[in-house]
Structure 1
């Protein structure tokens, strides 16, 4: 018999009432109600979508009703690659789940007031709250808990290595909004914990942030610039399992860091510059099994940015759902050390991705798979493999350019080389033509291979058939069917 692990919702949490959700283990009689959190999406016209989460083992049955809808006539469950079909009638939707999934449930073709359903595996890595090495903050489902971060950090620093701070179910506020986490620390957000504030890891190492709770930043102003999690000159950091709701800046900010693992997180944003995971001057980074719906780039990889100045290399993004209400699902190369010799961005791999949306109206920022080398940057040894792109509103499949963007680049990039695309599918229509072009004879694109590109169910046999234009400063461009 399977198991459902549902989580309480503290009073004061901002919920969305568009959906009512019940879940049970397959074969059981009793249903459990699952709450929907409000997540704001799309910076151009901010709207309120829903996010619900629970964990299960074996198999689960989900029942969804839409109280405000008179009639359900269509239900889309995405990503399509999940292969999950909804059964529905005019009033009710039913899903059968046999594995952990992160889904968008879109009723009557509605993508902006949709339900993001996060059905995870039951995790057994909860720390022991009564341990002598743990600061246990139990929380309260009826009232707010306020934590003085200076005191928390001071307590942690007096503990031996292996220390932990544990946030239990309830609505928690961090005094002065931010907690700077010391080295050799575990931070645990239990399911049902909603923490208003941000975590900062600065010149620290050996840190794990995990659990099933939420970081909630929807009430902070855009130009306050808060990130959900900032890793600045960090090393050996792992972030896993949590939900990041509406930070005004990046969801996960990685600068000047190494050996960073991001796994099984969900993130939502609705502001300009509220990217998902941004990686600047960092090495040995993995982003895996995440659902990122952002109103700027979902994943961006740069060289020099602010006070970080180094190359970026050995980066893998895999098994993720990327949804860009604005800008790029993936982009490499915009920022670098233009005052000197630029940076090298290399050994980067995107694999097993579902791109659910690309919706950008400015021509300079198009491309589901974009390499825009500026600021003297050299981008090389990049692989895109097993990328499934669903119908999007406006954008390009790929955009490979050495360029000078006047808004960001004082000088053009150095060059782009050794780029591989393999097993790419696009099922939509009306895309802007893709392009591969250099800047001039000294700043070129070379050695680009595209293998097994399928558009609208048909394998492309030529660049023209694939809708890819090449410029005069691009060479060794190959399409293999």
Structure 2
């Protein structure tokens, strides 16, 4: 159960030595079932992680250290009804889940209440991180068949790297924290917090990842990866949540991502390894709560898609509570050669889209390396709703030069509702359509 250290670790700039050194919230105090929980603090959000054993209702009390006029809980579907008395809020979650609390529309001081199922410690653990302790691991290398277990209350500072680590697992209810290996206001070394390359039959469950200096979780050239009930929160630019790069058969579910760039991104690229320039197939993302802050997009395919084919991707039952600034909510940016097709978005609720809703483009960009443009075909949007906020624009645009042409086609919108209005045409959706074919709304073709 020893911890294996990399002789060339990520550079630790300011090590933590005790859990109490990790900054606590000056704004929020949280009690669950009468028991006070630790509320951690960053300059962009505060967060608390109630670890639960079952789906029983949870009673919360939140005390705020300043006056406020309005409190909003998201996702809206949780229908949290708080009793407010002065600076105190009392409410019940009928079922444990991932919930955000925003005071007076201030998106820089939210509280994330991230209920997480308890993950029992397996009999076999190769890398054990104990409750109440801080570990400055630099880079932890995990081998095939090994299990990493973070006990509830443990803080692991650094990153995890795995190469050909078939059957590896990262489990538990502790925190993987990247704050110690990048300057507070800057990106860190160009390395993910969790990097998996050529790893098959992987399971990651229950952990919280926060404040990495770059992308957070990146499986590259992997197969059969299951990611369950994780919390990922970034606060510096290019802090992607999860990037699935050149993988097949990946499932992400029941998770929370607040990302200062793309929340969930599908790519085929040389990062984390050149081997990840390969086809992507059979990806399922479901039952997640997403918050896209600053740059990037909510759910993205692209820009780097340097492979022959990306197909059979499903995004289902998602709550996108914010998509801030200039990004898009549901986006495909084909800037390389891939044939992107059979992509399904269904049962998705959007609560705040500040710039773009749908953004589908074939293009030559600063990220492009392939000499030819790929295709985008057979894209399905079903049961999608923007609940409140602004009415964002949407874009579908192809690529046409004197030497080549690629027009997106066969794109279907069925039961899309924006601010209570059923969408039946591109104009209804405030959509710009250029160089595209076969755009369908509720069974009727509008662009042919």
Specify if TM > 0.5. Answer: yes
Aligned residues: 413
State the match for 1:80 in structure 2.
76
1:62 lines up with 2:30 in the alignment = no
TM-aligned CA deviation for residue 224 of structure 1: 1.2
Residue 14 in structure 1 maps to residue 9 in structure 2: no
- Name the CA distance, whole Å, in 1 between partners of 2:399 and 2:415: 27
CA contact (8 A) 1:367 1:395 kept: yes
SS in 2 for 1:219: helix
Alignment of 1:327-476 (within 5 A): 327-337=296-306, 342-361=307-326, 366-392=327-353, 394-408=354-368, 411=371, 413-440=373-400, 442-471=405-434, 473-476=435-438
Instruction: Describe how 1:30-429 pairs up with structure 2 within 5 A.
Output: 31-39=34-42, 47-56=43-52, 57=54, 58-67=56-65, 69=66, 71-123=67-119, 125-128=120-123, 133-134=124-125, 164-175=126-137, 177-221=138-182, 222-306=187-271, 307=274, 308-325=276-293, 326-337=295-306, 342-361=307-326, 366-392=327-353, 394-408=354-368, 411=371, 413-429=373-389
> Structure 1 stretch 216-225 or stretch 275-284: which is displaced more?
216-225
Change (3 A) 1:401 1:251: same
RMSD over equivalenced CA pairs, Å: 1.8
Question: 1:412 Cα shift?
Answer: 5.5
Q: Distance in 2 between matches of 1:412 and 1:104?
A: 43
Q: How far did 1:126 drift?
A: 2.2
Distance 1:202 1:172 in 2: 25
Deviation at 1:309, TM superposition (A): 1.9
Q: How many Å separate the matches in 1 of 2:50 and 2:393?
A: 41
Whether the aligned pair in 2 keeps the contact of 1:107 and 1:114 (CA below 8 Å) is yes
TM-score by length of 1: 0.82
Is 1:478 the counterpart of 2:447? The answer is no
Q: 1:281 to 1:237 in 2, by over 3 A?
A: same
Contact conserved, 1:230 with 1:254, CA < 8 A, in 2? yes
Structure 1 residues 208 and 370: alpha-carbon distance in aligned structure 2, compared to 1, 3 A threshold: same
- After superposition, the Cα gap between the structure-2 partners of 1:234 and 1:121, relative to the gap in structure 1 and judged at 3 Å, is closer
1:108-136 CA-to-partner distances (Å, cap 9, x unmatched) read: 2222111100123344x3234xxxx54xx
**C-alpha spacing 1:48/1:397, structure 2 compared with 1 (3 Å):** closer
Question: Which residue does the alignment assign to 2:10?
Answer: none
1:156 aligns to what? none
- 1:406 positional shift: 3.0
SS at match of 1:16: coil
Aligned equivalents of 2:118 and 2:200: distance in 1?
A: 28
Distance 1:408 1:112 in 2: 34
Shift of 1:54: 1.3
| Partners of 1:188 and 1:35 in 2: CA distance | 21
Gaps of at least 5 residues in structure 2 are 1-17, 444-448
Mapped to 2, the partners of 1:429 and 1:274 lie a distance apart of 25
- Tell me how far apart the structure 2 counterparts of residues 314 and 180 of structure 1 sit (CA, whole Å): 28
Secondary structure class of the residue paired with 1:284:
strand
Q: Give the drift of 1:94.
A: 0.7
| SS of corresponding position for 1:375 | coil
- Given that 1:15 and 1:38 are in contact with CA atoms closer than 8 Å, whether structure 2 keeps it comes out as yes
Shift of 1:407: 4.6
What is the TM-score of this pair, normalised by structure 2? 0.88
Q: Deviations over 1:31-60 (max 9, x none)?
A: 211111124xxxxxxx34211011234222
Rounded to whole Å, the distance in 1 between the matches of 2:32 and 2:149 is 25
SS at match of 1:127: coil
* Residues 423 and 451, structure 1, Cα contact 8 Å, conserved in 2: yes
- In 2, Cα distance between the equivalents of 1:113 and 1:373? 35
